[in-house]
Amino acid sequence: MSSKNKNSDKARSTKSRADMLIEEAVKAVEAEESGDDSSEEVVSKETGSVNPVAKIDLQQYIEKEAYLRLAADFENFRRRAVKERQDSERNGREKILRGFLEIFDNLERGLSQSKNEDSALAEGIRMIISQAEIWMRSEGLERVETKGKLFDPTIHEAVSQIEDNTKPSGSILEEVKRGYKWSDRLLRPAAVIVSKNSEIELEKEKES
């Protein structure tokens, strides 16, 4: 018999012995869990002799790498579950805050349409708006700045453009609807009216 065949037979013999040891260990653990006192002795299929088996730890027959991989997979799963829960909570709060902003807008519109600013109704609306603003700040809402700023498409929404040769193109002339940020994220862009300076644009075209 060649050396190659001998090595192959030896590998099969070693592997079969390991399989038998694992099988014996499993049987011992199953017997111990069922309350069978015979779990302390296991008959070896290879020799037919009785081997004393006390508390057998199955971990010694499984590669350490497999345990580490399983632990890593579980940790990744735990992190994904935590992130998904946090994202779900954040999305839920954002939806509620956006709905509240629509109500807040209507309060401001109602106050601006009041014929008598000194009436009890107007005063009541102003009190509600003041309380709402305090609550919004406590929740971390911040207004998007518009006054004296140039149009920024990342935080502003242009709803109209007006010719104005006294200011650079893109200057914000008026705020139509307030914009808000929350937790470093844009909750709602500010709706604005921006300027258009045709003279400056014409000069730039000539220079180019």
SS3 sequence of 153-196: CCCEEEEEEEECCCCCCCEEEEEEECCEEECCEEEECEEEEEEE
- Average per-residue pLDDT in the chain? 76
Q: Which of 62, 81, 106 is the last residue of a domain?
A: 62
Vertex 51 angle, CA 46 and 56, to 5°: 105
Check whether residue 96 and residue 126 sit in a common domain: yes
Of the chain, the end-to-end C-alpha distance in Å amounts to 90
pLDDT digits (tens, 9 = 90+) for 40-85: 444 444 455 544 444 445 555 556 667 778 888 888 988 999 999 9
Residue bearing the bigger pLDDT, 94 or 200: 94
H/E element holding 104? helix 64-112
pLDDT digits (tens, 9 = 90+) for 141-155: 999 999 889 999 999
SS3 (DSSP) at 150: strand
Q: How confident is the model at residue 27 (pLDDT cuts 50, 70, 90)?
A: low
Check whether residue 70 and residue 44 sit in a common domain: no
Q: Which of 78, 112, 139 is the last residue of a domain?
A: 139
Q: Which of 41, 62, 83 is the last residue of a domain?
A: 62
Question: What does the pLDDT read at residue 201?
Answer: 59
The C-alpha atoms of residue 157 and residue 89 are separated, in whole angstroms, by 27
Question: Are the CB atoms for 197 and 169 separated by under 8 Å?
Answer: yes
Q: Domain range spanning residue 93?
A: 63-139
Query: Around Cβ 127, how many Cβ atoms within 10 Å?
Result: 10
